[in-house]
Structure 1
Amino acid sequence: MVYWFGEPIRPHLERMRRSRGRGALWGAGFVLAVLLLVAGIGVSRRSGEQLQEATRALTHTREVLESLADISARMSEVESSARSFAISGKQSHLNPFYTAAKSVPPQVDELKHLLRSDPGSLESLTQIEPVISQHLKVMKDMVELGNRNLFRGFGQRGLTDEGSKLMEQIRGALSSMEKEQRARLAQQQAKLAAKTDHVELISFAGSALAGVLVLACAMATFGAVHRRRKADEKLDRLLGSMPDGLFIVNAEGKIVSSNAQAEKLFGYSDRELQGESMALLVPERFRQTQRQYYAGYFSQRSGRMPTTTLELCGLHKDGREFPIEMSTKPLALDNGSVVTSAIRDITGRKQVEKQISKLNKELELRAVELEVAYKELEAFSYSVSHDLRSPLQNIDSFSQILIEDYANRLDSDGRDYVQRLRASCQHMEEIIDALLALSNMMRSELQIEAFDLSALANTVAADLKLKNPDRLVDWVIAEGLSVEGDPQLLRVVLENLFGNAWKFTANRPRARIEFGALPQSNGARTYFVRDDGAGFDMARAASLFTPFKRLHDQSEFRGTGIGLATVQRVIQRHRGKIWAEGVVDRGATFCFTLTDDGGAPNGRNHDSTPPK
């Protein structure tokens, strides 16, 4: 036996051998642990990539669902705004209509881009896209009829039925695509859940080898929970801020949950409503109808469950009744199908509809009165043109005979009286002609076309110069003024306004008449005719456009008192406004617009002071 320092050496060698063996075993274990860690990292990385792919697929499907919901909501807003405007004629309904109609085509293109990797759904969208375009066209036609107040008289039922059929077809197609996407979403969620479990298993195994991975996993889990909690809180705030009462109802017609607005509408808290029948919220006479409504809705579970709307009478906790509108749509959950019912108080809308109905009746009566008035006006025009003109012509003719054949028998006063008589007859005939012209003009149909207003103004000015070529008048007419309107009627406007400027500057040794236009902030233009003539007192400006009201004596300036009234009627028929400013002996400025959104009736949008 060999000894080492008095002890047997073999036990030492055996311990050394065993120590080396344990070191090698620990080294192999460490290498194996490192290999396992590397392998775990590799597997975890691959699983993570698969998880990301599943998440992207899930996010993509959700984006598709959101896009489908946005398109459906915009189409509903288009139809609702178009109908509201066509019925009420209120311009406030046009902004949401045009906004929604303009946003639909880009949303459809965006959805087609999202579905580029899904040929089946892309084909379904391509098939329904022409129907969407047709529906938008029908709604625009309805708005155009509403703009001309023709919706009730022409095409109301046709446009309404066509729009409803197209909308049902669109909703059906979108709902079918949504159902397919939700099924895909459920599959992706299951796949994502499986991938998540796999990753968590690998993370757990790796945590035994590296505590850092455990900490990272814990932090990631905490972050996910925190985000989920934030998302739930955001959803709760969103539901609480909704203007409608929102109810989640199961197949038995029982309330599963409700939002804060539901308590404001009906007086019941969410705790009080849970488990109660929706029939609690309507009067007894409507409860059977509501039960049948939900029963019929859930009976379609095997087929397509559409979004439906029903108008009922709501019942508050205090017994008060009020009109409501209930919209119901399906909501698929893991534990079965439920529906969401959004209930809105439509008391204000019903009051508006009642007021509209009352106004429509008043308008019908007014239309009858206007028709009678037009017939009376035609009879008056006939009477003026035949019954009054003939006696005046007789008086004028006999007066002329007196002058020509009996002048030597009349003294100077008698001849003067006869001349005055003839002048009065001729003035009366001018008034009759002006009245007939005004009547015919108001009954004639507008012939709208684009033309050069500057050229027309130069023509009218040239005609005035020919009547009195010796007068010194500086004409300043802006060039390049193109408008859309009735050329004949607008010629009447310029003839009257230029004629007045010509007439009331007659006492000036050298007069100035200006015609031009100033742009407004809304893109329209304000036209003006300015002179440096007799002017007028602004205190009497309210009488300017009243027939037969004259601000100057007949002996000073001749006229019928109909010209400015005629001008005002023409401007009004072009949906414009006219107003005037003047200073005695310093001139006058007449301003007018040719659209209902141009200019300002207070005359502050241009310098009305006549040039010196």
Structure 2
Amino acid sequence: MPMRNLSFLRWRVIGLLLSVAVIVALPYVITRNTSTEALRASEWVTHSSEVKSITYRIAFLSRDAEAATYRIVMAGEDKDAQERLDDATRQISKLIWQLRDYTRDNADQQALVGSLETTVNGRATLMWQALWRARHGDREGAEKALVDAGSLFVIGDVLDKIVSTEDQLLTARREAAAAQSFNYKLVLGIGALAQVLLLGIIVVVSERQIGQRLRAEERESLAVRRSRQIVQAVREPIVLLDGRLNTLLVNTAFAELYGLDAEERRSLPLAELGGGAWNDGPLLQRLSDVMSRDRELWDYELNQRTADGADRRVVINARRLQQESDAPALLMTVSDITVRALVEKQVKELNRQLEGKVEQVSDVNRELEAFSYSVSHDLRAPLRHIAGFAGKLERHLGERLDEKGHHYLEVISSAAQRMAQLIDDLLVFSRLGRGAMRMQPVDMQSLVEEARALTETDTAGRRIEWKIAPLPVVVGDENMLRTVWQNLIGNAVKYTGQRELAKITVDTSRAPGGDYQFTVADNGAGFDMEYAGKLFGVFQRLHRASEFPGNGIGLANVRRIVARHGGRVWAEGEPGQGARFHFSLPASEAGDTRRQDRS
């Protein structure tokens, strides 16, 4: 499953859980808060009733204490009245402390309770004065003190204010409780609507999810069917095995090769398929290792006899498939390489024969080079004798030698010298094929400048326009490459000898494969492309020696040197329009630097 879909599914589950939590928790919170507020309102009603009850009790006890005091003052000492007075005084003190405790939540009530306490204390003080005066015979003063107590310290007003204030608080609290109850009912209604909406969303999402799952299962089923069809259509034999190497699925190609029914659903052991074609211990052990250790089997070759009775060479590849819900399976493919094996065998035999032929050709070439070297050396002695005796004959005859005799001896001497030069060139050509190469970085720019400098001794008085491009450093045998440039540039100078202004260009480029290509172009005599194949042969010439001197072995040396470096040589030309000689050399890291133009 893609990570994006997995993340979306995770957030959707979290959203569903939050919705369920809201549906369950919202009514609980609202009901709990409503119950709490109702209980708190009931407590406030009880609280107010207690405050009023204490207030009324204080008022009753105050009047009872006042009555007992009048009775004592008027009638004299009365034990019952005195007990009532003492009891009322004690209870009033306790009740005031209770009232103060009950009204701690309201500063106004606390102030009224303080005023009540002051009034009660003042009345009590005057009543005790009245009692004292009565006991000392001052009845008139006692009565006056009682009158002052009733007029100066009016307790009823304070009690009425306390009761009135408590009633107002109770009314405000009831109104607040009613408003809170209304708010809770409103929230509860909204919560009920939200529950219905969330339930609707859950139902819709669930239905959509079920639909998507059904469609996904349908697509998966279609994909499985297509995969099976593809597997069956593949011409490469394929088999799916379980952990005990029993078949789970075989395709048509596998069934045809090993004589099975591709539609058969029965699981069969691999070792029993194809008449024992798979009963190979090492292979079965490797397949078991692939299955148990999660390894892979690559290009395991096996000789088998298949259902058609033919001996085949097959290549086996296998790997474990870890399925999400089911147990892992082993996928094995079989490739029939019988024809390829036969071809490889034939190729090996042909290569062996070719190696023998190459060795024979190498032996012949070595023999030819040895023969050429030996013949060249053996020819030197007769040539020296011919040249020497021709000179001796000329000196011996002296003045007796006529003009025709002189001409004959000159021809003999010239032919001997030419033959000696041909032998030297042949020796050079032979050494180029046998000598070891010393590979090193070679600056082609320096070699071209050196070859150009060598030609200047033979070009005095000639007008030559040189264009030499920046040339790279290559890897090769410096002496051999020097010979290549000397031959090509020397030819360009030689075959432009009849031009008033000779133009010689040296350039380089890179082939698509990365090889270097060098070109030496001139505007000299040129040649006919019909005879281009003879240019690089030994002692092959396309011009007469009287026109352009030479023995025709220079370009053969060039071809042999370039070939030994892994390159090739070719030429282009047109009679009277000049020629272009090209040769290529493989590129290398050491030669990947182009020099600046120094021409």
The match for 1:194 is none
Question: Do the aligned partners of 2:286 and 2:297 also contact (CA within 8 Å) in 1?
Answer: no
Q: Which of residues 375, 379, 382 is equivalent to 1:384?
A: 375
User: Are 2:517 and 1:517 aligned?
Assistant: no
Q: Which of residues 527, 544, 567 is equivalent to 1:536?
A: 527
Q: Which of residues 288, 303, 309 is equivalent to 1:298?
A: 288
User: Are 2:527 and 1:547 aligned?
Assistant: no
Q: Which of residues 444, 449, 474 is equivalent to 2:440?
A: 449
Q: Which of residues 413, 416, 420 is equivalent to 1:422?
A: 413
The match for 1:361 is 352
1:245-296 per-residue CA deviation (whole Å, 9 max, x = no partner) reads 2111245544220235435755755215853454566566x5543x663267
* Alpha-carbon distance between aligned partners in 2 of 1:456 and 1:440, rounded to the nearest angstrom: 21
Q: Which amino acid aligns with 2:502?
A: A
Q: Which of residues 392, 395, 402 is equivalent to 2:386?
A: 395
- Distance apart, 1:37 and its partner CA: 8.3
User: Are 2:212 and 1:220 aligned?
Assistant: yes
Question: Do the aligned partners of 1:254 and 1:274 also contact (CA within 8 Å) in 2?
Answer: no
**In structure 2, do the counterparts of structure 1 residues 588 and 443 end up closer, same or farther at CA, with 3 Å as the change threshold?**
same
The match for 1:579 is 570
Question: Do the aligned partners of 1:283 and 1:314 also contact (CA within 8 Å) in 2?
Answer: no
Equivalent runs, 1:259-338 vs 2, <5 Å: 259-262=251-254, 268=260, 270-272=262-264, 275-278=267-270, 282=274, 286=277, 288-289=279-280, 293-294=283-284, 297-298=287-288, 307=297, 309-314=299-304, 317-331=307-321, 338=329
State the structure with more CA Rg: 2
**In structure 2, do the counterparts of structure 1 residues 572 and 42 end up closer, same or farther at CA, with 3 Å as the change threshold?**
farther
Equivalent runs, 1:330-349 vs 2, <5 Å: 330-331=320-321, 338-349=329-340
1:549-598 per-residue CA deviation (whole Å, 9 max, x = no partner) reads 2212233323222211111111111221211111112221111111299x
Question: Do the aligned partners of 2:291 and 2:320 also contact (CA within 8 Å) in 1?
Answer: no
Q: Which amino acid aligns with 2:393?
A: L
The match for 1:246 is 238
Q: Which of residues 477, 481, 495 is equivalent to 1:504?
A: 495
| 5+ residue gaps, structure 1 | 1-34, 45-205, 598-612
* Alpha-carbon distance between aligned partners in 2 of 1:429 and 1:491, rounded to the nearest angstrom: 24
**In structure 2, do the counterparts of structure 1 residues 264 and 556 end up closer, same or farther at CA, with 3 Å as the change threshold?**
farther
- Distance apart, 1:483 and its partner CA: 2.8
**More divergent stretch after superposition (585-594 vs 447-456):** 447-456
**In structure 2, do the counterparts of structure 1 residues 36 and 536 end up closer, same or farther at CA, with 3 Å as the change threshold?**
closer
Question: Do the aligned partners of 2:474 and 2:587 also contact (CA within 8 Å) in 1?
Answer: no
Q: Which of residues 476, 499, 518 is equivalent to 1:485?
A: 476
* Alpha-carbon distance between aligned partners in 2 of 1:41 and 1:393, rounded to the nearest angstrom: 121
- Distance apart, 1:504 and its partner CA: 1.9
Number of paired residues?
401
Q: Which amino acid aligns with 2:578?
A: G
Question: Do the aligned partners of 1:282 and 1:313 also contact (CA within 8 Å) in 2?
Answer: no
Question: Do the aligned partners of 1:529 and 1:589 also contact (CA within 8 Å) in 2?
Answer: yes
* Alpha-carbon distance between aligned partners in 2 of 1:274 and 1:354, rounded to the nearest angstrom: 40
Q: Which of residues 590, 594, 602 is equivalent to 2:585?
A: 594
User: Are 2:221 and 1:229 aligned?
Assistant: yes
Question: Do the aligned partners of 1:207 and 1:213 also contact (CA within 8 Å) in 2?
Answer: no
Q: Which amino acid aligns with 1:350?
A: A
Normalised TM-score (structure 2): 0.59
**In structure 2, do the counterparts of structure 1 residues 489 and 299 end up closer, same or farther at CA, with 3 Å as the change threshold?**
closer
Residue 300 of structure 2 aligns to a residue whose secondary structure is strand
Q: Which amino acid aligns with 2:404?
A: D
* Alpha-carbon distance between aligned partners in 2 of 1:310 and 1:516, rounded to the nearest angstrom: 54
- Distance apart, 1:233 and its partner CA: 5.0
* Alpha-carbon distance between aligned partners in 2 of 1:209 and 1:503, rounded to the nearest angstrom: 100
Aligned-residue sequence identity (percent) comes to 31
| 5+ residue gaps, structure 2 | 1-14, 25-197, 589-599
Residue 445 of structure 1 aligns to a residue whose secondary structure is coil
* Alpha-carbon distance between aligned partners in 2 of 1:428 and 1:489, rounded to the nearest angstrom: 24
Question: Do the aligned partners of 2:240 and 2:330 also contact (CA within 8 Å) in 1?
Answer: yes
Question: Do the aligned partners of 1:248 and 1:341 also contact (CA within 8 Å) in 2?
Answer: yes
The match for 1:140 is none
* Alpha-carbon distance between aligned partners in 1 of 2:16 and 2:239, rounded to the nearest angstrom: 53
